[in-house]
Amino acid sequence: MTDAPRAARPQSASITQMTEYVLPQHTNALGGVFGGQIMAWMDLCAAICAQRHSGRMAVTAYVDDLKFEQPVRVGEVVRLEARVTATFRTSMEIEVIVQGEDATTGRRWPCVTARLTFVAIDDSRHPTPIPPLLLDTEEVKASQAAGEARRRSRLAPHT
């Protein structure tokens, strides 16, 4: 069965937000969240975003630009937000922004930001076409163009 072309979807339709409470089992010996735990939450948030956009199961293909800024400690909150920043034939780039939060004061700080590439798969687990990103604002148009440039760089042969 061949998938029919799908209508472009707005970025707003698949924005995904998650909140996680940091417990002792999430932390290292210094009391900060394990980087791997943050990465797992990011992957989950991005996967939901990718599935919302594509209407399909989606798998992680690439993680780009992962940069930890400040820790989040036991008793604090991790806030994640994922959005599709660019789409291609069967894949999409998703930016995930993570913040720490002190729930008692509302103070927030940057924790980590990264871009993840997901590939949509069909029932046979083969890559399948996805809807394009609706380029309805200048910000989204710039996001798509920047994502295309990053993809070209990532796929270029490196010598």
In a domain, 59, yes or no: yes
1 in a structural domain: no
31 domain residue, yes or no: yes
Q: Are 46 and 53 in contact (CB under 8 A)?
A: no
76 within a domain of the structure (yes/no): yes
CATH of the domain at 71: 3.10.129.10
Within-domain flag for 4: no
pLDDT at 157: 86
Closest CA to 11 of 137, 96, 141, 133: 133
Alpha helices in 55-129 (DSSP H): none
- Which candidate, 75, 135, 119, 63, places its Cα nearest to that of 100? 75
Predicted confidence pLDDT, tens digits, the chain (159 residues): 445 557 999 999 999 999 999 999 999 999 999 999 999 999 999 999 999 999 999 999 999 878 899 999 999 999 999 999 999 999 999 999 999 999 999 999 999 999 999 999 999 999 999 999 999 999 999 999 999 999 998 888 876
What is the extent of the structural domain holding 73? 11-155
Q: Domain count of the chain? A: 1
Query: Is 2 contained in some domain?
Result: no
Question: Looking at residue 66, what is its pLDDT?
Answer: 86
Angle, vertex CA 107, rays to CA 112 and CA 30, nearest 5: 55
What integer pLDDT is reported at residue 1 of this predicted model? 44
Q: Which pLDDT does position 155 carry in this prediction?
A: 86
The answer to whether the CB of 53 falls within 8 A of the CB of 23 is: no
